[in-house]
Structures are given as C-alpha cells and as structure tokens.
Amino acid sequence: MKHLYKSTAVLLLLLPMSMMSSAAEPQKAAEPMKEMGMHQGMGMGMMGGMTEEQRTEHMRSMQEHMLQMHDLSNQILSEKDAAKKEELKKQQLELMKAHHSQMMEHRQQKMQEHKK
C-alpha cells in the first residue's frame, strides 16, 4: 500500500513536468492541426475557445489544486502518527474526488454546448 502512495505521488509530480515539455513548442504542435483542417478548439482540451484571461484563470486554478495536492502529499509523507496520516490521506482523497467531479461537470457542460 505504501508503494501505491509513493507511485501516485511520483505521477502527480511528473504530470506538470510532462505538460511543460509539451507546451515548450506550442507553434509546432498547432501546425499539424491546421494542416488537417481541425478547429482551433479541438485537440487542446477545449481551451482553444477561451480568451487569454480565461486560460490564465484556468491555469491558476490548476496551479492552486496542484499546490494543495503537493502540500498534502508532503504532509502525508512526513507524518509519523498513523491516525493523523490516515486523516491527511482522507483529505487528499476528498480533494481529488472534488477536482474530478468538477472536471466531469465541466466536460458535460462543454459537450452540451458543442451539441447545440
């Protein structure tokens, strides 16, 4: 079980780095989509239709979530008391569930808008 938590923590730490590496060359990534005639909003997590201000706000929200997750991960890893550690794990799980629920709700809204 301990290995599972460490693996999850590693994945949570690697995700932002992998996102940064793919964002390093946004022009090259956008060129093939233009060649295929894809709409700007497609293939980019539907962020293509957002204004710069909306994208910035979305990214700040993601950053805040990541900071909360990392903070809880660090607290979990450093906590010695098993009961306190379990409580921190529950807090982190609830944060993950809330974030997942929010993403799914947002995805449903976008799908409904796209159908119209």
pLDDT tens digits for range 17-51 = 666 555 555 555 455 544 444 444 444 555 667 89
Whether residue 66 is contained in a domain is answered as yes
Q: Is residue 61 part of a domain?
A: yes
21 lies in a domain?
A: no
Q: Is residue 31 part of a domain?
A: no
pLDDT band at 11 (very low <50, low <70, confident <90, very high): low
- Report the pLDDT value the prediction gives residue 39, as an integer from 0 to 100: 41
Give pTM, 2 decimals: 0.53
SS3 track for the chain: CHHHHHHHHHHHHHHHHHHHHHHCCHHHHHHHHHHCCCCCCCCCCCCCCCCHHHHHHHHHHHHHHHHHHHHHHHHHHHCCCHHHHHHHHHHHHHHHHHHHHHHHHHHHHHHHHHHC
- Residue 90: domain span: 50-115
In a domain, 104, yes or no: yes
- Structural domains of the chain, count: 1
Residue 105 lies in a domain: yes
User: Does the pLDDT of residue 110 top 50, yes or no?
Assistant: yes
Q: Is residue 89 part of a domain?
A: yes
Confidence bin at 91 (pLDDT 50/70/90): very high
